[in-house]
């Protein structure tokens, strides 16, 4: 059963990788059914299996930045977005998600599918001798990263979750939830493995496959969430220091494909731009989501260029609706934008917060002023050089809100990790309760696994 499951998942990924990623791997799809000896027959097939994971992530997945994504669902659950679709989005917007809410599958099932895919890559490469060692090293490093990346979101969305570290069906089917500490321990172990295996250079001419800096970018975020300020500053600093590779760019160029600000991006489907552009950009009154007017009012200082560059509005029947405009192409076969996963600006925000927490206020101000300068705002070092630690941390939180809105649930997670959920949301969400900080486990998961318990309050 175990080998059969590996064969099926890797075969599907190879087909996706070959059909959608010809840009990287110019080979013909396999003519016959794959058998264990040929699943990882050569470098090309193994690479195609890995590329298939990224293609799945970029489409209708938790990572796609579109309809079923963390960016959308967490934006609704926080204070960023309004949801209009009664069945799909209003439960998140009104914090009325329950174990039978169908959209939960987008943020539970698809991360676990990608974890299973990554496990298949790791196991398959460990049991073959025909893929060259250099490719094995690269692909294993990427697979460890993918697993850590998915678990980072699962633990922050659901709290305690099962750890699936193999493709063994029976083991995974009966897995119990483990503590958040155990999940983070596994995340760090996977990232440490990935950091050792991956090089500084990108494996292609584009920024669509993780490299060592991608690993370090996630490490800086993980340590920030854990309150390990020393390591958070360390890893953010490692990325920032690579100024020949990563630079802040003008606001209207941040989300272009292979932007110098990009650390890792997902490439859209062939001849398409991003799912986010298609989903968020409004041409008529919204039927899915729009930006909350009160979020805009509370997020941006006067003359903040992020407001005018990254938010646009339409008027329908006399009502103004605003939408995220970070991705500016709704539909075009001229591909100019890729979906951003990690970017340099976040690393400055992470280091600024970590430095402030360690009382390095001058260093923190220098980091935050990099982003304020780009946004056309006055610099803290000029207008408030003697700012105290508490006020500086508040300013950093505000900068995160202005810079990272509608990206990867960062606003929702920031409110959670800084214990601000109730103070912010109780005033704008009717019937707000603190247990909403975790989503419920899907009822289907509980029915299928008697070892799975439900989150408190559901």
354 confidence band (pLDDT: 50, 70, 90): very high
In a domain, 10, yes or no: no
Q: How far apart are CA 208 and CA 57, in angstroms?
A: 12
26 confidence band (pLDDT: 50, 70, 90): very low
Q: State the pLDDT at residue 332.
A: 87
**Residue (of 354, 350, 357) closest to 400 by Cα position:** 350
**Residue (of 334, 321, 337) closest to 275 by Cα position:** 337
Q: How far apart are CA 443 and CA 437, in angstroms?
A: 18
Q: State the pLDDT at residue 342.
A: 99
In a domain, 1, yes or no: no
Q: State the pLDDT at residue 27.
A: 30
- Asked if residue 294 has pLDDT above 50, the reply is yes
In a domain, 216, yes or no: yes
For 305-352, where are the E strands, in sequence order?
311-316, 319-324, 339-343
In a domain, 318, yes or no: no
Number of domains, the chain: 1
Quickly list H helices, 167-243: 169-173, 180-197, 212-226, 229-240
223 lies in which domain range?
Answer: 43-273+337-422
- Please give the structure tokens belonging to residue 197: 């295996």
Q: State the pLDDT at residue 61.
A: 87
- Asked if residue 21 has pLDDT above 80, the reply is no
**Residue (of 359, 343, 437, 353) closest to 397 by Cα position:** 353
Q: State the pLDDT at residue 195.
A: 99
Which DSSP string do the residues of 348-392 spell out, in sequence order?
A: HHHHHHHHHHTT-HHHHHHHHHHHHHHTTPPPHHHH-TT--HHHH
- Please give the structure tokens belonging to residue 29: 């799809």
Q: How far apart are CA 402 and CA 321, in angstroms?
A: 19
Contact 332, 273 (CB under 8 A): yes
Give residues with Cβ within 8 angstroms of 169, minimum separation 6.
1, 2, 5
- Please give the structure tokens belonging to residue 44: 């090309």
Q: Residue 262: which region, alpha, beta or left (left: phi > 0; alpha: psi -120 to 50)?
A: beta
- Please give the structure tokens belonging to residue 70: 């963390």
Query: What's this model's pTM, rounded to 2 decimal places?
Result: 0.92
- Asked if residue 11 has pLDDT above 80, the reply is no
Mean of the per-residue pLDDT values of the chain: 92
39 confidence band (pLDDT: 50, 70, 90): low
Which DSSP string do the residues of 38-106 spell out, in sequence order?
A: HHT-SHHHHHHHHHHHHHHHHSSSTTSSSTTSHHHHHHHHTTSEEE--TTTTHHHHTT---TT-TTHHH
125 confidence band (pLDDT: 50, 70, 90): very high
Contact 131, 48 (CB under 8 A): no
10 confidence band (pLDDT: 50, 70, 90): low
- Asked if residue 183 has pLDDT above 60, the reply is yes
- Asked if residue 336 has pLDDT above 50, the reply is yes
- Asked if residue 283 has pLDDT above 50, the reply is yes
In a domain, 390, yes or no: yes
233 confidence band (pLDDT: 50, 70, 90): very high
Q: State the pLDDT at residue 60.
A: 77
Of the given ranges (7-16, 323-332, 370-379, 436-445), which has the lowest mean pLDDT?
7-16
CATH of the domain at 111: 1.25.40.390
In a domain, 305, yes or no: no
- Asked if residue 14 has pLDDT above 70, the reply is no
Count of helices and strands (H, E) across the chain: 21, 8
Q: How far apart are CA 198 and CA 332, in angstroms?
A: 34
87 confidence band (pLDDT: 50, 70, 90): confident
Of the given ranges (34-38, 87-91, 217-221, 323-327), which has the lowest mean pLDDT?
34-38
Q: State the pLDDT at residue 128.
A: 83
Q: State the pLDDT at residue 12.
A: 52
In a domain, 302, yes or no: no
132-171: per-residue pLDDT in tens?
999 999 999 999 999 999 999 999 999 999 999 999 988 9
Who wins on pLDDT, 240 or 38?
A: 240
In a domain, 255, yes or no: yes
- Asked if residue 325 has pLDDT above 60, the reply is yes
Mean pLDDT of 319-337: 95
């Amino acid at each position: 059963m175990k080998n059969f499951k590996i064969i099926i998942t890797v075969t599907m990924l190879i087909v996706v990788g070959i059909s959608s990623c010809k840009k990287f791997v110019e080979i013909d799809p396999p003519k016959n059914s794959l058998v264990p000896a040929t699943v990882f027959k050569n470098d090309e097939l193994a690479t195609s299996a890995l590329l298939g994971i990224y293609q799945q992530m970029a489409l209708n997945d938790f990572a796609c930045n579109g309809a079923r994504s963390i960016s959308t669902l967490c934006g609704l659950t926080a204070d960023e977005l309004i949801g209009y679709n009664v069945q799909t989005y209003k439960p998140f917007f009104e914090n009325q998600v329950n174990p039978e809410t169908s959209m939960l599958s987008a943020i539970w099932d698809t991360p676990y599918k990608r974890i299973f895919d990554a496990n298949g890559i790791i196991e398959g490469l460990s049991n073959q001798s025909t893929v060259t060692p250099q490719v094995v090293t690269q692909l294993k490093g990427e697979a460890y990263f993918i697993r850590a990346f998915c678990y980072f979101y699962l633990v922050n969305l659901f709290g305690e979750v099962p750890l699936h570290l193999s493709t063994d069906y029976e083991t995974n089917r009966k897995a119990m939830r483990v503590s958040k500490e155990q999940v983070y321990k596994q995340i760090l172990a996977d990232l440490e493995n990935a950091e050792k295996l991956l090089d500084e250079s990108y494996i292609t001419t584009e920024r669509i496959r993780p490299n060592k800096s991608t690993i370090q970018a996630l490490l800086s975020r993980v340590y920030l969430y854990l309150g390990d300020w020393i390591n958070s500053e360390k890893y953010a600093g490692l990325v920032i220091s690579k100024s020949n590779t990563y630079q802040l760019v003008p606001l209207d160029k941040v989300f272009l494909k292979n932007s110098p600000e990009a650390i890792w991006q997902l490439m859209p489907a062939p001849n398409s731009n991003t799912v986010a552009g298609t989903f968020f950009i409004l041409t008529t009154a919204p039927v899915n989501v729009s930006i909350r007017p009160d979020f805009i009012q509370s997020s941006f200082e006067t003359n903040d260029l992020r407001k005018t560059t990254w938010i646009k509005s339409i008027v329908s029947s006399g009502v103004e609706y605003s939408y995220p405009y970070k991705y500016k192409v709704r539909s075009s076969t001229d591909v100019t934008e890729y979906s951003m996963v990690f970017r340099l600006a976040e690393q400055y925000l992470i280091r600024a917060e970590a430095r402030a927490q360690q009382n390095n206020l001058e260093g923190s101000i220098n980091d935050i002023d990099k982003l304020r300068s780009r946004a056309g705002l006055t610099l803290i070092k000029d207008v408030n050089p003697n700012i105290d630690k508490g006020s500086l941390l508040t300013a950093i939180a505000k900068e995160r809100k202005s810079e990272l809105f509608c990206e990867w649930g960062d606003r929702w997670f920031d409110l959670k990790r800084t214990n601000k959920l109730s103070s912010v949301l109780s005033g704008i969400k009717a019937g707000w309760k603190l247990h909403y900080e975790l989503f419920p486990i899907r009822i289907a998961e509980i029915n299928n696994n008697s070892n799975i318990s439900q989150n408190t309050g559901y």
